[in-house]
Amino acid sequence: MTFLSPDRLWLLVLAPLLAAAYVLLQMRRRQYAVRFTNLALLSQIAPRRPGWRRHVAAALFLIMIVLMMIGFARPASSVKVPRDRATIMVAVDVSLSMMARDVTPTRFDAAKSAAKKFIRELPARFNVGVVSFAGNANLVAAPSADRDAAIASLDQLVLAKRTAIGEAVFTSLQGVRSFDAQASQDPPPAHIVLLSDGDNTTGRSVQEAIDASRSAHIPVSTIAFGTPYGTVDIEGETTSVSVNKETLKNLADSTEGKAYEAADADQLGEVYANIGSSLGFKIEHRDIAARYTGIALLFALAAGGVSLAWFSRLP
């Protein structure tokens, strides 16, 4: 058992203090009785002593206090919760060519909007991770069911030089393999969605990425952003950055994925339509303070009940 607010456990030190105070009070009462030297008269005027019963209500009350203190520290139990392992990796191109305005408002902004829309519309059972890539690729949001975290990671993306499509696929595959403790030997069913303008200029080749994806049995679907007429201004020079749809289509077709263009990205529901399920488990710490509070209430009622039954008064 763990505690969500362990700093509150210090209150438990008060319990032995209460017990000690009770014992001291009982000893003082016994001393008063001993001071009354006429024992014959004392036995006639003093009520019959209840013996052990007089301690029962106090003991029940003390147990109730201890339980309430434990509950106040918010105890939690660890439970295994079923979790669907099906995973979608979204890889977004952040190369400088994505600044081109041949797609409104820019290729980059259009890609981010498409990625956010896709993530929001994913069925709840899917986990989603985000990879960004330019000269290299980075896992910016690990696969999880947290849609807000994935979308927030897209807002933090920054453009950089060069384009490493192959590295984006390899990093996405690694994200899938690191999903949980069993993913390295038993990867979850997965699909990669790659949004780019389609030129691989650095890192491992697209063919290597294709081979790795096919070996892992993970399809790669692509969305092409751009036209043949795109240009960007880099360090004062205007550079032509036409979209390379052929590269993206080859990547998708060779891995049994689908190739889309920005204009038909609404069809992306096909991406996850045929992804299977694979149940795993995650450990959650669930607050069980109410359980201790309920038991404490029972002890409080018991203390009151025995006190009323035996002494006609509450403790």
Q: Is the pLDDT of residue 213 over 90?
A: yes
φ, ψ for residue 196 (rounded to 5)? -160, 170
183 CB neighbour count, 10 Å cutoff: 19
Q: Is the pLDDT of residue 146 over 90?
A: yes
50, 44 in Cβ contact below 8 A?
A: no
pLDDT score recorded for residue 279? 46
**Nearest Cα residue to 213 out of 163, 268, 251:** 251
The beta-carbon contacts of 143-149 under 8 Å, at least 24 apart in sequence, are: 143/87, 143/89, 143/175, 143/176, 143/179, 145/83, 147/119, 147/120, 147/122
Report d(CA 109, CA 267) in Å as an integer. Answer: 19
Q: pLDDT tens for residues 240-276?
A: 999 999 999 999 999 999 999 887 666 666 776 666 5
Task: List the structure tokens of 315.
Answer: 């403790």
pLDDT score recorded for residue 183? 81
Q: Report the sign of the C-alpha dihedral through residues 116, 118, 123, 127, in that order.
A: negative
Q: Is the pLDDT of residue 201 over 90?
A: yes
Residue 75, strand partner residues: 3
Q: pLDDT tens for residues 69-111?
A: 888 888 888 765 556 788 999 999 999 999 999 988 999 999 9
Task: Give residue for tokens 């147990």.
Answer: 63
Q: Report the sign of the C-alpha dihedral through residues 9, 13, 16, 22, in that order.
A: negative
**pLDDT top residue among 44 and 115:** 115
Q: Is the pLDDT of residue 11 over 90?
A: no
Report d(CA 307, CA 225) in Å as an integer. Answer: 79
192-217 mean pLDDT:
95
pLDDT score recorded for residue 30? 66
